[in-house]
Chains A and B, each alone.
Chain A
């Protein structure tokens, strides 16, 4: 019965995702499957429209033979993992020291005004989520933000408008 239950938990992971996770698992020694946990969470988050559920984390725990708690710890530690639904686009604005000194407050203020939402919120149409993040390592071009896999640097209100207009 226990075996059956276990099977159900990781059954939530699609065959394609499993194949992708397996590639990561293969990079580590046999008895250290759990090293693939971050990759597995990212893969499942992407597959699930940008966020993780407890069920998905449990599935990862089951698949990589980890204690669920250990997966929750990883998933809540890194700000790149989302634990509730997010918009189609996630705008991550850096407000850490360099960006702040170079005007991230203005960036945030402009975004709030344009989108009508605060930090950590999603527009009503589910299109955009605004998120405050820590230093993303692009301080030379501060202030900055990240949308999807793209960095947008040296932000100004005009530049932000331009970027927003290009989003579908």
Chain B
């Protein structure tokens, strides 16, 4: 630590840190445009000039390291003159069109100009003008407003790992752009909107929707992936009009994936159902809640409880999933599942308590070796991809075994594309056995006889062995593989042999929570075994149940076997859909539609992949007549005359789950079970971009991006 003084205030600053960091820590404001704590230092805007004792000229605070005894003045005559001068230069080419600029009211340039600039411009020559640039459906590019701080360029190179924005030309002719026109491809692209200090890069879906001062900012948690990124939701009236990241260093840092940022458009989709609806003699009728709920209960009572199947999306809250399984079990039905895309359930009895990352999200970057199995990070968990990119850039050796050539934004030691991932993993396990001389587990030798260990597989094995801190992570393409149980066995074996952490990256924002809540056919809340083993999702669809209860899902798109799902729904005698949406397909097969709130309109809890419980409040009131699903499930419980459904607040539901599941262990080890065979190759069918859940599928701008990528 060194001792410095800023504006007379004595400060202990970290050695090697810059003056601006010390000032930020001490709460002293120094204006800046190019500096950002998560990006490299460019020192090109000069807005942060300060006076330093004994220095002849003002120095940029963002690029001046602290030294012992240093005296800094941020508001001395010299500093103020320098700041004013810089401000004047920055405004020479900047249009003074704040009234028609979308950034107005939340513009760093506007704010700094107000505090540090002059009120009258001396400049009377003409200004530089640039045509707007098309960066795709998400980001508007009014490049005339750009002040060339290069934050967006550095973000691409350093954080997103996609060098697609650059500085074209030089001097007065410099422009930020892609040179060859194309939509930005990074799945973290929206972050440049936050980074851009001016109105050059703005959110296209938010254009001209509201001024900053008309918005109310509320806290929430993003529901689309297992990271559980923290978000601020911006509300105008009763409408969600924007989502931005809420800083949480342990989870999403200052970033947010495009999916989490722009999915809110789906909340305002025309597909939203606002009134309970029942089908009477093939015709849909809008009705009141009481009628609809009674109709639902009557319909379900008509079929035996064994003939009901409950399917829930892993986007549902912990409270909703808990009440759903409680209701089903109370009425004597064990057929409940949230693993919509999974196909192999054969080892579910031995599965860990919940799919856990095996570590904290922040610890990912400390890995020096990682084996990714079936993990399409760019698509499924962009923030995990970003953390692993940091690991890779600091020397971590990351390998992948995938069913298709998934793209990553970091270098990999080995990238194996295998239509039979299992065989590939067996070879890696064999390489580990060869290397360590450890005894093979029972029957493994018979299995591995048929595989030939290649150099690449040896390399992967060595990297994991050498790693002081290493992980073996199974992504959605592994979890949904037809041979998942075998993959799990071998992946866990690989982890054991190499002293790595096995981990999972399950689908949805509450995949871990669904296991804890007991939204499973074989386990109740807290992982306790179910008294009757119900049917899993595949069995429920195959055996064509008489009735289905759907929570936040459209099985004909959400399930692995979409055809079977569509058929099962159409054939069913009675289908109740608890969902914010009613598509044509749902209208065709459902009998009762109970409009329930998406995550922004209800209180609830998501459990992320670290096992972290994140509770949130509704940020807007439920749309129309729709109601939070936990309340609807509670009333259904009452109507079925079940005990224990007298909750008044969702926090009471949460308290009950805490008692049941609060102390669930975090342990991904499983007992060894040798796969019967090497299995066979299967064709991998990649899902379309931004198709993972009902909200995202209705977010227009994200859909436009998906379209442009086809």
- A76 contact from B164, B170, B178, B405, Cβ within 8 A: B170
Q: How far is the CA of A13 from the CA of B493 in the complex (A)?
A: 49
Chain B residues near A70 (CB, 8 Å)?
163, 166
A54 proximity list for chain B (CB < 8 A): 179-180
Q: How large is the interface on B (under 10, 10 to 19, 20 to 34, 35 or more residues)?
A: 10 to 19
Annotate B580-598 by CB proximity to A: 1 below 8 A, 0 otherwise: 0000000000000000000
Q: Which A residues are in CB contact (< 8 Å) with B41?
A: none
Shortest distance from the beta carbon of A141 to any chain B beta carbon, whole Å: 25
Query: Is A48 engaged at the interface, CB distance under 8 Å to the other chain?
Result: no
Cα distance A48–B178 in the bound complex, in angstroms = 24
- Give Cα A77–Cα B167 distance, bound, in whole angstroms: 9
Instruction: Digitize A63-84: 1 where CB-to-B-CB distance is under 8 Å, 0 elsewhere.
Output: 0000111101100110000000
Mark out the residues of chain B between 166 and 184 whose CB falls within 8 Å of any chain A CB in the assembled complex: 166-170, 178-180
Which residues on the B side are within 8 Å of A68 (C-beta)?
Answer: 179-180
Q: Note all chain A residues with C-beta closer than 8 A to B166.
A: 69-70, 72-73
A58 vs chain B, min Cβ distance (A) = 9
Of the candidates A69, A76, A77, which one forms a contact with B163 in the assembled complex, judged by CB atoms under 8 Å apart?
A69
Residues of B near A77 (CB, < 8 A) are 167, 169-170
The answer on a CB contact under 8 Å between A69 and B178 is yes
Q: Is A67's CB under 8 angstroms from B163's CB?
A: yes
Near B by CB (< 8 A), chain A positions 6-59 give 54
Residue interface mask B352-366, A partner, CB < 8 A = 1: 000000000000000
Q: Is the interface of B mostly helix, strand, loop or mixed?
A: loop
Smallest distance from the beta carbon of A64 to chain B beta carbons, Å? 14
Q: Which residues of A contact B168 (CB under 8 A)?
A: 72-73, 76
The answer to whether A69 and B169 touch (CB under 8 A), given A54-B180, A76-B179, is: no
Interface centre among A2, A68, A69, A70 (most CB of B within 10 A): A69
Contact of B167 among A2, A67, A73 (CB under 8 A): A73
Is residue B165 contacting chain A, with contact meaning CB distance below 8 A? Answer: yes
Contacts of B163 in A (CB 8 A): 67, 69-70
**Residues on A with beta carbons closer than 8 Å to the beta carbon of B178:** 69
Residues on the B chain within 8 Å of A2, using CB? 405
Closest A residue, CB atoms, query B163: A67
What CA separation (Å) do A101 and B527 show in the bound complex? 85
Interchain nearest-CB distance for B60 vs A (Å): 23
CA of A54 to CA of B179, assembled, Å: 9
Instruction: Tell me the minimal C-beta distance from A27 to chain B in angstroms.
Output: 25
Knowing A54-B180, A76-B179 touch, does A69 contact B170 (C-beta < 8 A)?
Answer: no
- Contact residues in B for A67 (Cβ distance below 8 Å): 163
Return chain B residues, CB-CB under 8 Å to A72. Answer: 166, 168, 179-180
Cα distance A125–B178 in the bound complex, in angstroms: 33
- Looking at the assembled complex, report how far the CB atom of A144 sits from the nearest CB atom of chain B, in whole angstroms: 21
Question: Once bound together, how far apart are the Cα atoms of A54 and B180, in whole Å?
Answer: 8
Q: Which residue of B lies closest to A78 (CB)?
A: B170
> With A and B bound together, what is the CA distance between A54 and B166 in angstroms?
15
77-96 of chain A: CB within 8 A of chain B: 77
- Give every chain A residue within 8 A of B180 (Cβ-Cβ): 54, 68, 72
Closest to B168 in A: A76
- What A residues does B170 contact at CB under 8 A? 76-77
B179 nearest CB neighbor, chain A only: A72
Inter-chain contacts of B169 with A (CB < 8 A): 76-77
In the docked arrangement, what's the CA distance between A76 and B180, Å?
13
CB nearest to A72 among chain B residues: B179
Give complex CA distance A67, B167 in Å: 13
Roughly how many angstroms separate A42 CA and B254 CA in the complex, as a whole number? 42
Closest residue of chain A to B162, judged by CB? A67
Q: How far is the CA of A69 from the CA of B165 in the complex (A)?
A: 7
Contacts of A69 in B (CB 8 A): 163-166, 178-179
Question: In angstroms, how far is the closest chain A Cβ from the Cβ of B141?
Answer: 16
**Identity of the chain A residue whose Cβ is nearest the Cβ of B405 in the assembled complex:** A2
- Mask, B626-661, CB within 8 Å of A = 1, is 000000000000000000000000000000000000
Cα-based distance from A72 to B166 in the complex (angstroms): 8
| B707 shortest CB reach to chain A, Å | 23
B258 to chain A, nearest CB (A): 20
Complex Cα distance A67/B157, Å? 10
Q: Hey, which chain B residues are within 8 Å of A76, CB to CB?
A: 168-170, 179
Count chain A CB atoms within 10 A of each CB in B170, B178, B179, B180 and give the residue with the most. B179
Chain A residues with CB below 8 A from B164, complex form: 69
Question: Which residue, B164, B166, B180, has most C-beta atoms of chain A within 10 A?
Answer: B166
Q: Which residue of B lies closest to A1 (CB)?
A: B405
CA distance A137 to B164 in the complex (A): 34
| A102-120 at interface with B (beta carbon < 8 Å) | none
A73 CA / B165 CA spacing, docked (Å): 10
* Minimum Cβ distance to chain A for residue B436 (Å): 32
Task: Kindly identify, within residues 555 to 599 of chain B, every residue whose CB is under 8 Å from any CB belonging to chain A.
Answer: none
A77 to B166, CA, bound (A): 11
Min C-beta distance of B320 to chain A, whole Å: 44
Closest A residue to B173 using CB positions: A76
Once the chains are docked, how many angstroms separate the CA of A70 from the CA of B178? 11
Min CB distance, A57 to chain B, in Å? 9
Please indicate the chain B residues that have their CB under 8 angstroms from the CB of A73 in the complex.
Answer: 166-168
A73 to B178, CA, bound (A): 10
Alpha-carbon distance between A69 and B180 when the two chains are bound, in angstroms? 9
B194 → chain A closest CB, angstroms: 22
Q: Which of B386-429 contact A (CB under 8 A)?
A: 405
B171 to chain A, nearest CB (A): 9
Tell me, in angstroms, the Cα distance from A77 to B175 when the chains sit together.
Answer: 11
Q: Which residue of A lies closest to B178 (CB)?
A: A69
A168 to B166, CA, bound (A): 40
Cα separation A67 to B166 with both chains bound (whole Å): 11
Q: How far is the CA of A67 from the CA of B180 in the complex (A)?
A: 13
How far is A48 from B602 in the complex, measured between Cα atoms in Å? 64
B417–chain A nearest beta-carbon distance, Å: 11
| Bound Cα distance from A75 to B634, whole angstroms | 66
Q: List 28 A-B contacts (CB under 8 A).
A: A2-B405, A54-B179, A54-B180, A67-B163, A68-B179, A68-B180, A69-B163, A69-B164, A69-B165, A69-B166, A69-B178, A69-B179, A70-B163, A70-B166, A72-B166, A72-B168, A72-B179, A72-B180, A73-B166, A73-B167, A73-B168, A76-B168, A76-B169, A76-B170, A76-B179, A77-B167, A77-B169, A77-B170
Interface contacts beyond A69-B164, A73-B168: sample of 10 additional A-B pairs, CB < 8 Å, sorted by A: A54-B180, A67-B163, A68-B179, A69-B163, A69-B166, A70-B163, A70-B166, A73-B167, A76-B170, A77-B167
Query: A residues bordering B, Cβ < 8 Å?
Result: 2, 54, 67-70, 72-73, 76-77
Closest 8 CB pairs of A and B: A67-B163, A72-B179, A69-B166, A76-B168, A73-B166, A77-B170, A76-B169, A69-B163
